[in-house]
Structure 1
Amino acid sequence: MAKRLANPNPEKEMSFLDHLEELRWHIIRSTIAVVIVGTLAFIAKDFIFDVLLFGPKSADFPTYKLLCRAARFIGMNSFCFEELPFRIQSRTMSGQFSAHIWTSVTAGIIIAFPYIIYEFWKFISPGLMPKERKHSKGFIIIASFLFFLGVLFGYYVITPLSINFLGSYRVSEEVFNDFDLSSYISLVRASVLASGLIFELPIVIYFLTKLGLVTPEILRKYRKFALVIVLIISAVITPPDIASQVIVAVPVTILYEISIYISRAVLRNNRKKEKEKANEQQ
């Protein structure tokens, strides 16, 4: 492993190779964090699989109970069942071990996300103004909060809706659903990670506005197109029924509207700083 370069003069501009060296160490530390947390998740196999992963296929899952009560309140019997009509199987010799490994890696990425964001911020912070660096803690907290909020939304909303629809869907009574373990885990993983990343939209808009690539006017002008994109994303990460897509589209649309206000606030602060700088030069 190469020795890390020391930078005795922080104000001195770093070369491209120096930046690559710094980035390499940030990636290494993030990877180590994922490996450590992933190892703990590997050890906690029973909780990860029996409670978390296979929880959404149980009739006792909180989402199903809530939806069942809501359905009965309006005189329907949807989401009220004792058992979903499918089984999970592993059809390859290494199937269960591979699922264990990759699920542990995914858990490591999710749980270590705040530290990964911290390393990302440490890499980009030297290029920011001193006042902007002071908000690093706030950035890490907000980005982590949005990500975990998206993960919870994916786990408690998208995942059970997808499992209930796809697990109950039949083209004929002659066909019984026997899902492969990797297929089931992929659905849960995609639902959770996709939601976590989608909920980072305000953070993405913040940086795009900082770079001058996005303005509130552009976001408002293309709101209709954004709504179409939101519906497409909702259709991709949810089962193909209108109710599920609407449930997913609503929070994403709200995040888009919040992003407009964030972009406006960033632009306002930039103009204020430019005005103060102009006054100082006079």
Structure 2
Amino acid sequence: MSLEAEEMSLVDHLTELRRRLIYVLIVFVAGLVIGLFVAKPIYLYLISADPAQGFVLHAFSFWDGIGMYMKIAMAVSLAFSVPFIVFQLWAFISPGLRPVERSAALRYVPYVFILFILGIAFAYYIVFPMALSFTISITRSMGLEETYGIAEYFSFLFSLVIPLALLFELPLIVMFLTKLRVLNPLRLRRMRRYAYFALVFIAVVITPPDFISDFLVTIPLLVLYEFSVFLSAFVYRRQLAEDAQREARYIKAQES
């Protein structure tokens, strides 16, 4: 291939990448607009669910209410955007994949949204109330008067829920990489101690600075990793069976 052809190919790839980034930006902005319309009912639901254990939320600046609406709108937009981002990524790299890899990647796209929603539900209904209950109990045991701002409350909420929802994609990523034969359960088991260290580090970074939040996020991440190893083993066994069948057919064809 000539240098000019290679340069044109690079320009074409960059043009394609820019086009798909524009699509992602359009979907994100559209999701943000939708999120602004549904922010109030979502806010009312979050307050009526009362994980805040009865305390009153306060606004300490004129922008707290707007900031809360924007946080909710961004969460809604992210829920819409994540599957679309994955699909656009697949569409960008699919020309370089083999047909089996292309079909495997496309099958996994719908599950991105499902796992993201499951991650949000788990983080909000299990992890967040436990973390909030722990921090409130410590505050009350110290005899401190509780005055919580709405901005701090929702920052605490989203700092737990959104990262954990994104990390729920780990099993899907591992299954996909196993399907592409980049990973396998043997390699995942060998790197377990390093993976555990990385997951603990991630949990400490993404959670508020208290031990119980770190613990409540670390345990699900370790379980997700082990579940990913299990799924990888399932996919890997099917690959070995398919390879054995293919080899048997080849040997039979050679003999005949």
**Per the alignment, in what secondary structure is the counterpart of residue 91 of structure 1?**
coil
Equivalent residue number for residue 36 of structure 1: 30
1:207 is displaced (CA, Å) by: 5.0
> Which of the two has greater helix per residue?
2
Equivalent residue number for residue 191 of structure 1: 160
**How do 1:1-282 and structure 2 match up within 5 A?**
15-52=9-46, 55-59=49-53, 83=54, 86-170=55-139, 172-173=142-143, 175-209=144-178, 214-234=183-203, 237=207, 239-241=210-212, 245=215, 248-264=217-233, 265-266=235-236, 269=239, 272=243
Partners of 1:206 and 1:17 in 2: how far apart? Answer: 32
CA contact (8 A) 1:215 1:267 kept: no
**Per the alignment, in what secondary structure is the counterpart of residue 171 of structure 2?**
helix
Structure 1 vs Structure 2 CA RMSD: 3.4
> Structure 2 stretches of 5 or more lacking a match?
1-5
Partners of 1:190 and 1:94 in 2: how far apart? Answer: 19
Partners of 1:57 and 1:219 in 2: how far apart? Answer: 37
Q: Is the alpha carbon distance of 1:146 and 1:107 closer, same or farther for their aligned partners in structure 2, counting shifts above 3 Å?
A: same
> Structure 1 stretches of 5 or more lacking a match?
1-11, 60-82
State, as a whole percentage, how many aligned pairs show the same letter: 28
CA offsets 1:242-270 (integer angstroms, 9 cap, x no match)? 9x82x544443332123224444359739
Which residue identity is paired with 2:211? P
Which residue identity is paired with 1:147? F
CA contact (8 A) 2:178 2:236 kept: yes
Which residue identity is paired with 1:172? M
Q: Is the alpha carbon distance of 1:29 and 1:221 closer, same or farther for their aligned partners in structure 2, counting shifts above 3 Å?
A: same
Partners of 1:102 and 1:58 in 2: how far apart? Answer: 18
**Per the alignment, in what secondary structure is the counterpart of residue 223 of structure 2?**
helix
> So what's the TM-score if we normalise by structure 1?
0.70
Partners of 2:231 and 2:7 in 1: how far apart? Answer: 31
1:194 is displaced (CA, Å) by: 1.1
1:89 is displaced (CA, Å) by: 1.8
Equivalenced residue count is: 239
Partners of 1:29 and 1:163 in 2: how far apart? Answer: 38
1:153 is displaced (CA, Å) by: 0.9
Q: Is the alpha carbon distance of 1:250 and 1:218 closer, same or farther for their aligned partners in structure 2, counting shifts above 3 Å?
A: same
CA offsets 1:11-64 (integer angstroms, 9 cap, x no match)? x997222222212222222222222222122122321211136635355xxxxx
